[in-house]
Chain A
Amino acid sequence: MASVTLENVTRMYGAITAVDHVNLKIKSGEFVTLLGPSGCGKTTTLRMVAGLEKNTGGRISIGENVVSDSDKGYFVPSERRRLGMVFQSYAIWPHMTVFDNVAYPLRIRRKSDKEIRDRVMNALRLVEMEQYAERPSPALSGGQQQRVAIARALVFEPEVLLLDEPLSNLDARLRTQMGDEFRALQQRLKITALYVTHDQSEAMALSDRVVVMHGGKILQVGAPEEIYRRPESRQVAAFFGTPNLLNAKVKDCRPNGGQYYKLDVEGQGWSGECHAATEMPRGTDVTVMVRPENLQIREAGEANGGLSWSGEISQAIFRGPHRSIMVKTPAQTLHVETPSLAEIGIGRPVTVAAPSDAAWAVRN
C-alpha cells in the first residue's frame, strides 16, 4: 500500500474554485476521511486523486510517483494509477454476474484464469459473498451490492482504496454494520483508504484522521477525537452535532501544564474555567463550546468548579437512549443531554454545570 500526497491541489471550473490549494499527506495504511457539507469540494478532491478529474493546479503523488502535476502538464490517466474505488451508486455493471464484476480488474490485466478464480473467490470471501458468485448482479440487495463493490475494488490489491460516500444509500442499521465491518477489514489488510462522506458519525467511527472541508478549503485535519473535542474554529465546532456555543470574554489565561492553556472566561451572567489551544490575552472575544452530553443538571445553586449557569427547564424531549433538555439561562438557551431515566419537571429552576476540561474556547 502506498501513501498519497496532495500539494497545493486546486480545481477551477471556469471562475469557480471548487478545490482551493489543498495540502494533505495520507500515510501508508492510514484511513483518512474527507468530511464536509455537499459542495465543499470533497468529492472533487477524491476524483482528482482517482484521475477522473484533472487538477488545474498543484501536484498529486501516489507512493513515490507523481500522478498529476498541472504545472508540467503531466497526467497519468485513471487506469494506470492502480486504484480501487467504491462509488456512491456502487456502479455494479448490470450485465455481469457478481463473479464477472469482481473479476473485471483482473481480466483487464490479462491474468490467468486460475489466478482470476482464486483471487476473485478470495476477495468475495473477504466480504462474505462467495456463495453469491454466480448471481446476476441486478439481483442483489443494496448491502450486497456494496460488498461486491468493495470486493471489486480490493481484488487486484490496489495502491489506494477510494470510497465516495459508499454507505449513503443504505438504511441506518445496515450503514452502521457495513461501516464497522469495513473498518475491521481495512485494519486487517492495512489498506490506505481515502473516504468521502458528509456524515460526521460515520467519519468519526471509521477514520484514523478526519479532514474537515468547507468551500474548497481544509478547515482542520486531525484524529476524530481531536476534532470533536478540540476544534480549531467555531465552524468546525458547529459541524459536529449540536453543541452549545457561547460568546465570552477572556479574563485570565495561563498554561495548564500540558499542551493547552487554561482560561477564565466571563459571559452574560455566567463565568468559569475552560481550555484553549493557544494563549489568548485578556479581553479577547472567544466562543466557548460545550457539548450537550457533557452538561449536567443539578439542583439550583449547586456548583463546583468548571462552568455553571442557572436557569429553568423550558422543554424536555424523550429520545430513547437519552433525553434532550432545553434550559433557559440569561445568556442563551442551553441544550443538555441527560440519561433518559432522570425525572424532569418543566419550569423547575436548575443549575447547569460542565467540568472545565469539557469546555473548549476558540477565538471568534
Chain B
Amino acid sequence: MTIIHNRSLDDIDDTAPVLGGNAITRAFSGGSLMRLIGMLVLILILGFLTIYPLSMLLYGSLHSTPPGMAGEFNLDGYRSIMTTQNLMILANTVGISLAKTIPSLTIAVFLAWIVARTDTPFRGTLEVLITLPFFIPPILTAMAWGMLANPQVGVINMVWRWLTGAQDPLINIYSYGGVIWHMCQYSIPFLFLFMVDAFRAMDPSLEESSRMCGASRWTTFRKITLLLMLPVLTSSFMLSFIKGIETFESALFFGLPAGIKVITTDIYESINHRATPDYQYATSLSFAIMGLMFLLVIAQWAVLRGKSFQTVTGKGFRPNVMELGPWRWVTFAFCVLFFVVTVVLPVGQLLLGSFFRFFGFYTYDMLTLEHYRAVFSNSEFWRAVRNTMMLGLLGATATMALGAVVAYISIRTKWRGRSLIDGMAWLPWMMPGMVLGVGFLWAFAMLPGPIPIYGTVWALLLAYIALGTPVAVRVMTGSYHQLSYDLEECSRVHGASWFQTMWRILVALAWPAFAVGWVLTFFGIMRELSASILLYSVGSETLAVVLLKLWANGNAEQVSVIGLMMMLLVILFRWVQLRFIKARISKL
C-alpha cells in the first residue's frame, strides 16, 4: 500500500475554522439549527396528534354544547356521569375485563409453554395457527359468533337441538359469557405473542442449576421458572386488563342487545343512539375513563419498577424442552382445538352465511351467489375498500416513519427535548380508541375554518396515526437496541457521512422491524372501529364501518361476504409477513 500524498487544499477549505462566522453560520455548521427546526416540527406534529385532542377533550367536557357551537362552560357533564347507573357500568367494565384476563392469561401461559418448552409435534405450525386470531378484525369474529351462537338460529344451537331434541338453546352469545368469550379470543393470542419469546429465551442453565442443587422438577418450576417469569406475567396481566377496558366490539355486539353496558359502549351510545347526541356527557365520561387508564398505567409502572427481564438475553440458548411422551398428542390436540374454535368455526360460518339466501336457513334450494353479486356491485363497498386500503397504506407508512424517527431521537441521540417527544408519542397508549375519537371530534371541529379536516378521510388518518404511534415507537426502539452503536460509528470512521450512515447502515438493518411494525399497524387500521365510528362521515366510511352498518340493517349475508374478503386479506398479509420478513430477520 502506498502513502497518500493527495491531502489537498479542499480538505482544509472544507473544514476551515467556523469560529469567525456569525451565529447562524456557526449553528448551521454544527447542524444544530437544522436539528432545532427538525425537533420543533416533530414536537408540533406530535402535539397536534396527542396533546391537542387531549386538551380538547378537557375543553369539551366543560362545554355545554356540541363541538363548534356557542355555549357556556359548566360542570354539568361531570355531574351527569355521577350516577348509580354509571357506577354499575364501571363495575361491569372492570369486572368483565378481570373475568376475561384471568382465563386468558392461564390459557396463554399454557399455550406458550406448549410451544416453547415441550416436544409437542408441529410446534412451528401450531405457533402460526395460534396467533392467527389476533390478526383477524374483531368485528368479523363478533359477527360470525353472532350467527354461530344466536340462541334462535345459531348453527351451534340448531345442531344441539337436533342432537338432543331440547327446546332451550345450549349457549346464548348475548350475555356476559358471550362478551367475555369473544374478548378471550383476542386476549389469548395477544398474550401468547407477548410471552412466548420470554419462555423461549430463558436460560436453561438457571433451571438446570436448580435441579443440580437437588430441587425436583416441580419445585424448580415453582421456585425458579415461575418466579423468573413473574415480571412477564405481571406486565401481561396489566396489559391485558387495560386492553379489556378499552375493548369496544365485544360489548357492542353481545353486550348491548342483552342490556350489558360498559364504558366504551356507553360513550358510543350517548353520541350515536340518542335522539340528540349528548356530547358533554360523552366527553366527560371519556375524560374520566382516561383518568382511570392513567391510574392503571401508573399502577403498572409501580408494579413493574425494578423488575427486569434479564432472563431474556441475546444468546442463542436451546431452551429446555420437556419430553411429554404420549401426552404430546394431548397438547397438540389442545392447540388444534383452540385454532378450530377461534378461526375455523367463525370463518366457516362466514363461508356458510355467504352462500345461503338467509342465514339460519341452510337448505339446498337456498344456495345462492346473489350476495356476492350484491356486494361487488355495491359502490359503497368499493368506496370503503378504497378508503380502507388508502388509509392502511398511508397510515401504516406515516405511523412507522414517525415512530422510527421518535425512537431514533429518544434512544440514539442526546438531544434536548428527546424525552418530551418520547412522552408525547406514548400518550395515546392510555387513550382507548373511543376516547381518542371523541377527542379528535372536538379537535377537528375546533380547527379554524380554512382547515376542513372534519368529516374527511384525513380525520381518520390522523386518528389512526395517533393510535398507532406508541406501538410503532416500541417496535423501532426494540430494533435499534439490538443494533450495536459500533455499526454506525464504524461507518462514520470509514468515510460515510451522517446521512450515508443512516441510509446504508441503520435503515438497511432496521427495515425488517419497520416492515413488521408496518404490517401490525396496517392490521390495526383495518380492524379499527371505535374511533372510526365516531369520525367517519358519508364518503369516508371504512370497511369496518360499512360492516357495522350492514349488520345493523340485518344484512348478515352480505356481511359474511365482506368478512370473507377481509379474511383473505389478513391471511395474505400474514403469509407475506411470515414468509419474507421473518426469513429476512432470521438471516441477520
Contact = CB atoms under 8 A, between A and B. Distances in A.
Interface of A: 1, 50-52, 63-65, 69, 72-74, 76-85, 87-91, 93-95, 104-105, 108-109, 136, 138, 152-154, 156-157, 159, 162, 189, 191
Contacts of A90: 486
Given A76-B15, A82-B495, 14 more contacts: A65-B7, A72-B17, A73-B19, A78-B492, A84-B494, A85-B494, A89-B484, A90-B486, A91-B487, A95-B509, A104-B504, A136-B587, A156-B495, A159-B4
Interface in B546-588: 587-588
22 contacts: A50-B493, A51-B492, A52-B489, A63-B7, A72-B17, A74-B15, A76-B15, A78-B492, A79-B496, A81-B493, A83-B493, A89-B484, A91-B490, A93-B491, A93-B505, A95-B508, A95-B509, A108-B494, A108-B500, A138-B588, A152-B494, A189-B1
Contacts of A84: 493-494
B55 interface: no
A51 B17 contact: no
Contacts of A105: 494-495
Closest 10 CB pairs of A and B: A91-B490, A91-B486, A105-B494, A78-B492, A85-B493, A74-B17, A87-B486, A108-B495, A108-B496, A76-B15
B272 interface: no
B8 to A, nearest CB: 11
Given A73-B18, A74-B19, A93-B487, A65 B493 contact: no
A93 B1 contact: no
Contacts of A104: 491, 494, 496, 504
Contacts of B504: 104
Contacts of B508: 93, 95
Given A65-B12, A157-B2, A94 B588 contact: yes
Q: Which of A52, A152, A153: most chain B CB closer than 10 A?
A: A52
A49 B348 CA distance: 67
Nearest to A64: B7
B3 interface: yes
A87 B587 contact: no
Interface residues of B, number: 31
Contact of B486 (A51, A89, A136): A89
Contacts of B509: 93-95
B499 to A, nearest CB: 11
A62 B412 CA distance: 29
Interface string B133-163: 0000000000000000000000000000000
A143 to B, nearest CB: 18
B497 interface: yes
Contacts of B490: 85, 87, 91, 93
A79 B493 contact: yes
A206 B18 CA distance: 40
B72 interface: no
Q: Which of B490, B491, B587: most chain A CB closer than 10 A?
A: B490
Nearest to A154: B1
A201 B54 CA distance: 63
Interface in B1-45: 1-4, 7, 11-12, 14-15, 17-19
Contact of B1 (A72, A89, A95, A157): A157
A136 to B, nearest CB: 7
Given A65-B7, A89-B486, A95-B509, A80 B2 contact: no
B273 to A, nearest CB: 53
Contacts of A191: 1
A5 to B, nearest CB: 15
Contacts of A85: 490, 493-494
Contacts of B492: 51-52, 77-79
A73 B18 CA distance: 8
A251 B92 CA distance: 94
Contacts of A136: 587
A252 to B, nearest CB: 53
Contacts of A78: 489, 492-493
A105 B497 CA distance: 11
Interface string B476-493: 000000001011011111
A341 to B, nearest CB: 41
Contacts of B15: 74, 76, 80
A162 B486 CA distance: 14
Contact of B493 (A93, A109, A162): A162
Contacts of A73: 17-19
Contacts of A80: 11, 14-15, 495
Nearest to A50: B493
Q: Which of B11, B19, B489, B495: most chain A CB closer than 10 A?
A: B495
A156 B495 CA distance: 10
A291 to B, nearest CB: 37
B535 to A, nearest CB: 40
A136 B584 CA distance: 13
Interface in B394-422: none
A79 B497 contact: yes
Contacts of B496: 79, 104, 108
B302 to A, nearest CB: 31
Given A85-B494, A94-B588, A138-B587, A72 B4 contact: no
Nearest to B15: A76
Contacts of A109: 495
Contacts of A93: 487, 490-491, 505, 508-509
Contacts of A64: 7
B489 A87 contact: yes
B537 to A, nearest CB: 45
Contacts of B484: 89, 91
A84 B12 CA distance: 20
Contacts of B588: 94-95, 138
A1 B3 contact: yes
B31 to A, nearest CB: 10
Nearest to B512: A95
B494 A51 contact: no
B178 to A, nearest CB: 48
A95 to B, nearest CB: 5
A84 B17 CA distance: 24
A108 B496 CA distance: 6
Contacts of B500: 108
Contacts of B497: 77, 79
A50 B494 CA distance: 10
Contacts of B18: 73-74
B11 to A, nearest CB: 7
Nearest to A68: B15
Contacts of A189: 1
Nearest to B584: A95
Nearest to A191: B1
Contacts of A65: 7, 11-12
Interface in B262-278: none
Nearest to A119: B1
A85 B492 CA distance: 10
Nearest to B588: A94
A154 to B, nearest CB: 7
A87 B489 CA distance: 9
Contact of A82 (B2, B4, B19): B4
B137 to A, nearest CB: 34
A104 B17 CA distance: 29
Contacts of A162: 493
Contacts of A83: 493-494
Q: Which of B15, B17, B504: most chain A CB closer than 10 A?
A: B15
Nearest to B16: A74
Interface in B491-544: 491-497, 500, 504-505, 508-509
A141 B14 CA distance: 41
A56 to B, nearest CB: 15
A134 B1 CA distance: 24
Contacts of B3: 1, 157
Nearest to A157: B1
B172 to A, nearest CB: 55
A112 B111 CA distance: 56
